[in-house]
A and B are shown apart, each in its own frame.
Chain A
Amino acid sequence: MGAGHAHAMYVHQHSLVHHLAPEVKIAAALAFTVVVVATPRERVAVFGAYAVIILALAVLSRIPALWLAKRCLIELPFVATALLLPFFAAGPKTTVLGMSLAVEGLWGGWNILIKGTLGVLIALTLAATTLPRDLLVGLDRLKAPQAITQIAMFMLRYLEVLADEARRMRIARLSRLDDPRFLWQVKGFATGLGSLFIRSYERGERVFLAMRSRGYTGRLPAALHAETLGSARQWAAGAIVPVLAAAILIIWGYA
């Protein structure tokens, strides 16, 4: 099975940020995002200060700049919306490079762009410094509903098993001269998807039986991830980023 051994979003390093407890990092990233969203859009310099904080964080976590830049591309659909706003918003107009643009639209677009980018950057920093399973542990400790963390955990475990199954089914189809290159030849793929669904459903049932056989009653035992709870010092360290951002917001944002 040529399954990849790396995690797509995780940058393997040993840094202060990597070693923080996951729940601390999640809470800090969330608080930082709230501060960013609460900032008035006209305060351009304040956003600059936020960007400097994230940059410092990225340097501290030793995340390569190119890695961050590439992963930022996920934001593109939102950028497109932001770019369209100046053309379609109503209200007073201004002229840039011979184009007539709405002032309200420009601010609206800027608002989406800068807040979106900062949000994506902090989320990427979180993902780069925390393993997927640790993220789930953190969410669990922050009292996220167990149904959701368990579903996410199963996804983490079975995504590759499923992808592998889909790959094998596809190869078996191609071996029997299925050659789907046009939309009207999609039947084999579609029925394959159907049987993959049935198979996953049945597998789910078998997994559940196997779990019940080992005493599962609906909650994952807490003892499974009892190690490295966030200490008071870790919480204090994690609080630095959102507190700093909030201080900047209060001092310069609303002045």
Chain B
Amino acid sequence: MTSLDITDLHYSYPDGHQALHGVNLSVSEGERVALLGPNGAGKTTLVLHLNGILPAPNMPGAQGSVTVGGLKADPRDRAALAEIRRRVGLVFQDPDDQLFLPTVREDVAFGPANLGLKGAELDARVDDALAWVGMTEVKDRAPHHLSLGQRRRVAVATVLAMDPQLLVLDEPSSNLDPQARRELAEILLNLPVTMLMVTHDLPYALQLCERSVILDEGRIAADGPTREILSDTALLAKHRLELPFGFTPLATTP
């Protein structure tokens, strides 16, 4: 079954800059897909389309459709948008953007509480989500007192608490130390959700995602098994992607 279906998506910012030039992408349920691409390729713009933050209603230059689990995102249909935001969990790159409440518990409860949960049911959601990311013991701490690795795990929990069908992560490994990076990978590998991961970290993509797509200049430039894409040096070079020094994707086993 198709979890995410994007057809012919176009988008221009109000200042006239066109970010997406007809993106087509389909992700099946249970798949883990890496979205690769250089800076300025339109990755973040695409991600903001996945749960209907973009486009704003009646926006000129917006075209095409995004369908999540059979439900089409329509900027004018608020009820459908709310359901799409529940189905698609966005984890932003900077946890300080995501975690805005005074305690971890409240922040994880924010999403499900917006869905109308309360009382014991809400508490159970919070506990489950924190348990998934191994952050149960920081429940009553303030987000700004946690390390970056911990904050990123809590940020993942804030969307897991909404029971999403599709988890979208923006640069999940950026600025993490090697251990925090590996721990996060282990957590993400264990999550039973469809995943779309935006990243520059090609070894991370290889470790976590069986399939990769390259987005460049607002178009999907390549789509295939991660190992094949990362082995194609010419393709990577053409889209400003580089493997770390000494890394050969064929030599590593997942």
> Which residues of A are in contact with B by a Cβ distance under 8 Å?
1, 3, 5, 132-133, 153-154, 156-158, 160-161, 164, 203, 206-207, 209-217, 220-226
Contact of B92 among A154, A161, A210 (CB under 8 A): A210
Q: Are B102 and A226 in contact (CB under 8 A)?
A: no
Contacts of B142 in A (CB 8 A): 157
* Contact A214/B143 with A133-B102, A161-B96 known, Cβ cut-off 8 Å: no
Tell me what chain A mostly uses at the interface: helix, strand, loop, or mixed.
helix
The residue in chain B whose Cβ has the minimal distance to the Cβ of A165 is B96
Tell me what chain B mostly uses at the interface: helix, strand, loop, or mixed.
helix
Task: Tally A-B pairs: CB < 8 A.
Answer: 93
Contacts of B86 in A (CB 8 A): 215
**Is B175 interfacial (CB-CB < 8 Å)?**
no
The residue in chain A whose Cβ has the minimal distance to the Cβ of B105 is A224
Q: Are B101 and A214 in contact (CB under 8 A)?
A: no
Contact of B114 among A156, A216, A226 (CB under 8 A): A216
Contact of A209 among B53, B103, B110, B118 (CB under 8 A): B53
Q: Are A223 and B117 in contact (CB under 8 A)?
A: yes
Q: Are A211 and B100 in contact (CB under 8 A)?
A: yes
**Is B165 interfacial (CB-CB < 8 Å)?**
no
Contact of B144 among A161, A203, A210, A214 (CB under 8 A): A161
> Which residues of B are in contact with A by a Cβ distance under 8 Å?
48, 51, 53, 82, 85-86, 88-90, 92, 94, 96-98, 100-103, 106, 109-111, 113-119, 122, 142-145, 158-159, 162
The residue in chain B whose Cβ has the minimal distance to the Cβ of A136 is B102
Contact of B100 among A157, A221, A222 (CB under 8 A): A157
Contact of A224 among B51, B53, B88, B106 (CB under 8 A): B106
Contact of A207 among B97, B103, B109, B145 (CB under 8 A): B97
B9 CB, nearest partner CB in chain A, Å: 18
